[in-house]
Amino acid sequence: MWKQSTMTVAVALLMSAGVGPPQSRQNAAKLMAVHSGTTEVVGLAGGPNVLFYEDFVLGTSAYQAALDALGWSFTMVVDPADFETELQTGAYTHVIAAHQNAGGESVWEDDLAAWIVANPDGVVIVSDWRVVEPAPPYLAGLGFGYTQTTNLGMMDGVGGETLDGLAGALVNPGWGTFSYGVTGGTTIATDTPGTGEAIVARSGCVFFNGFLSDTFLNPAVGRDVMMRELQCGTIGGAFELIGVTGDGADTPESLFSISTDDASIEFICGLGRGDDGETIAFNGTDGRLYHASGHVGPFDPTTLDGVIFETVDGIGNGSSCATTDIDISTTDLIDEEAQAIVWWPEENVFLWKQDHGADYPLFRVTTDGVATVIGDLDHQAKGLAFAALPAAGDGIGLYSVDKGSAFLRIIDPADASTIDEIPMILTAGVGEILGGNGLATHPGTGELWGIIRVELPSGEVQRLLGVIDPFGEVVVVGALGDKFAGLAFVTIAGGDDCNGNGIPDDVETMPLYQLDEDAQASPECDEAPFIGPFIRYESTTVTTGAFGPKMPDYFFCGLYVGVFDVFYRYAPAWDGLAFVSVEGPPVDFVYGVYDDCPPSPECLIDCNEIDHFEIVFEAEKGKTYWIRIAAQFFQEAPFELYLVGPDVTFNPTDCNGNGIPDECECLADVDGDGFITAMDVARIASMIGTSCDGCPEDVDGDGEVDLTDLQIVFALVGEECPFGDGGT
């Protein structure tokens, strides 16, 4: 199993995102953080996170190409058992289930169906090629099936749906029946336009593709089909496109909300400070919109001219446009107007392009205004954005548009040099592209949006809003109603990012697993299922392994020893005592609690050496504990495990499960005075034994005011809000 995503890096370090053995990825070695085993994690946090299962591929995988082009984070698995585990335990916004080996077994059907039920806003793409068998039963539960009869050579999008307008996507029929008719769902593509058998159907954002991912004669078309499907719906928060007008606009130096449907605009507020050279950028790390403006010199409050740098407070959350100044009066940034800025999250800096005569300096600028020059660009960039590069697997690169040319350029942020020039082409409409005036990348889809200046046949110059693909094709959304100079996507209410870490709260707090009362203990600690209190778990240590592992794997607990061991996991939502008991007479068991995986004597918290029938330990909120069980010596036997302790957390960043990261809350401050005091304790004590829905006295959010709530607050008396864990 591989985990990967793309990362914003200097182009000289751009990595391959292709799935393969470790030696094929040596160019990315310095960028990877190896967590365990064969799992590798690279790059950006937040946004879409895709679970990608593809057990067999001969040609070019359209799924892989789409993920590379989008630059999204994804986990790749090729083993059905790994896919099943990730469905049960992973936190994903999208799932691709490409079961493309007709003879292969599948063990994940029920887990996929359960994932869809548990994630109604998720995007799922299924391609299950078992044409020599009846339709797999789980498909009927999703509303899909297939006829096993279609051997197509072309597919066309129909019905005004996700693939509408797709025409002539050739699918190779020469490999046998590698495409099959689909039943159920809404038909969105057929093998003969309008009348043929359905080969793509969907239910909401659950797609059934009646073809394999590697059958497209033109891989670019296959990639585009999968990109359209993956971009179904809005995943990972809500975002608003903000534009800033230039000094020559009808309403100059002002912020507008811009519709991504038709480019219509709505006034937000005027900014006022600075004159000439308006540009904006959203910092996903602190959740703020930044504005740079001004012609030359330090800001003069009399003329309102001079170069300024400021935060625009509250945009996207219904607040006013109050600003906070950032002092740049002693830096080189005041030498000329700012013409483009973009936030670079991996480096925690802005890239700031300045107009400076024949030279066009590019700076690194911190959020407190410290500037370091990188080098000179070779063009008059009026927009900067990080987005997916055109070559599959190359990851994310820095793009620019020039106000005086029709090129989309790729820039090396390490030295400001131009790596490539891509001609921009309008896919529809008339007019000649003169240049660009702003760029912004959609945080949810990875699409590159831009302001394109076009000269119409009448000679009129018009600013258009469009989506630009990595190959320079511009899909026009609409004409802008004023002279906009810059763009930025900001997080809005419903896609809140309360801690400003660039991850929408609903993504950061989504459940990482589900409890299964029938969960079977695993012989591998990193695959152990999570369990909860007050449930009796029946499992076994019986294995099919060879007789006895090597000595380092033996489980010692004082004078007791076990050989064939299995594991459960427990993640408490709150601090408190936890009790674990295991029994399976007539066999005696060795069992212990660890705070790390794999187990070692150093991470053993306690085992049943003293009290052979029970372990008692202090559970800590948000930590994960592994419970290790083995029959004594070389025995194997079934057992029952019972756990008493604090309720579980399904995500340690949101222990009370209310969808808000705990660090943004101070739940123990029941009366809201900013301190945890005896008054908070008294309020809870007065309501012990009552039920409530969302009342502040129910600190742990379980619907009951009880001793657990009292214990949480009592342990924090004397603290002030906010503090390290948010008071929870």
pLDDT at 182: 81
Q: Count CB atoms within 10 A of the CB of residue 12.
A: 11
Rounded to an integer, the average pLDDT of 383-394 is 73
pLDDT at 94: 92
Q: Does pLDDT of 234 surpass 60?
A: no
Q: Does pLDDT of 230 surpass 90?
A: no
pLDDT at 149: 72
pLDDT at 726: 37
Q: Does pLDDT of 725 surpass 50?
A: no
pLDDT at 435: 93
- Three-state secondary-structure class, residue 115: helix
Determine the Cα–Cα distance for residues 556 and 540; give it in Å rounded to an integer.
19
Q: Does pLDDT of 549 surpass 70?
A: no
Mean pLDDT of the chain: 79
196: pLDDT confidence band, cut at 50, 70 and 90? confident
Better-scored residue on pLDDT, 534 or 27: 534
pLDDT at 345: 79
Determine the Cα–Cα distance for residues 600 and 605; give it in Å rounded to an integer.
10
pLDDT at 17: 25
405-432 pLDDT, tens digit per residue, is 999 999 999 999 999 999 999 987 778 9
Q: Count CB atoms within 10 A of the CB of residue 120.
A: 9
275: pLDDT confidence band, cut at 50, 70 and 90? low
Q: Alpha-carbon torsion 203, 207, 211, 216, what sign? A: positive
Rounded to an integer, the average pLDDT of 644-669 is 83
| Out of 45-49, 201-205, 488-492, least confident range | 45-49
Q: How far is CA 465 from CA 43, 81, 438, 455, in A?
A: 29, 45, 10, 14
Determine the Cα–Cα distance for residues 125 and 130; give it in Å rounded to an integer.
16
| Out of 78-92, 365-379, 430-444, 663-677, least confident range | 663-677
Tell which residue, 383, 359, 368, 269, has the closest CA to residue 326.
Answer: 368
- Cis peptide bond upstream of 598, omega within 30: yes
pLDDT at 654: 84
297: pLDDT confidence band, cut at 50, 70 and 90? low
Alpha-carbon dihedral 465, 469, 474, 477, rounded to 10 degrees: -40
At position 620, the amino acid (one-letter code) is E
Determine the Cα–Cα distance for residues 243 and 697; give it in Å rounded to an integer.
43
Rounded to an integer, the average pLDDT of 555-560 is 88
Task: Quote the DSSP letter at residue 553.
Answer: G
| Out of 339-348, 438-447, 631-640, least confident range | 438-447
| Out of 267-281, 297-311, 687-701, least confident range | 297-311
| 632, two tokens | 């004594």
Quickly list DSSP for 151-180.
--SEEEE-TTSTTTT---EEB-GGGSS-B-
Residue 234 CA, chain-centre distance (Å), reads 12
| Out of 279-293, 558-572, 604-618, 708-722, least confident range | 708-722
Determine the Cα–Cα distance for residues 623 and 596; give it in Å rounded to an integer.
10
Tell which residue, 266, 261, 262, has the closest CA to residue 243.
Answer: 266
Outline where 196-354 has alpha helix (H): 219-230
237 CB contacts (<8 Å, ≥6 apart)?
443, 444, 491, 494, 495, 496, 497, 504, 505, 506, 507
Better-scored residue on pLDDT, 245 or 179: 245
pTM for the model: 0.45
At position 35, the amino acid (one-letter code) is H
Give me the half-sphere count of Cα atoms (radius 13 Å) on the Cβ side of residue 717: 12
Determine the Cα–Cα distance for residues 549 and 563; give it in Å rounded to an integer.
7
- In the chain, the domains with their CATH numbers are 48-230 (3.40.50.880), 239-507 (2.120.10), 525-644 (2.60.120.380), 662-714 (1.10.1330)
Phi, psi of 623 (to 5 degrees): -90, 160
Tell which residue, 3, 57, 9, 67, has the closest CA to residue 35.
Answer: 3
Contact 392, 68 (CB under 8 A): yes
pLDDT at 427: 81
- Pairing verdict, β 73-77 and 49-54: parallel
576: pLDDT confidence band, cut at 50, 70 and 90? confident
Rounded to an integer, the average pLDDT of 541-551 is 53
292: pLDDT confidence band, cut at 50, 70 and 90? very high
Task: Quote the DSSP letter at residue 694.
Answer: S
Q: Does pLDDT of 236 surpass 60?
A: no
Q: Does pLDDT of 521 surpass 90?
A: yes
362 CB contacts (<8 Å, ≥6 apart)?
351, 352, 353, 354, 373, 374, 375, 376, 377, 411, 413, 416
Rounded to an integer, the average pLDDT of 127-132 is 74
pLDDT at 304: 61
pLDDT at 488: 94
439: pLDDT confidence band, cut at 50, 70 and 90? very high
Rounded to an integer, the average pLDDT of 52-75 is 83
Rounded to an integer, the average pLDDT of 138-151 is 76
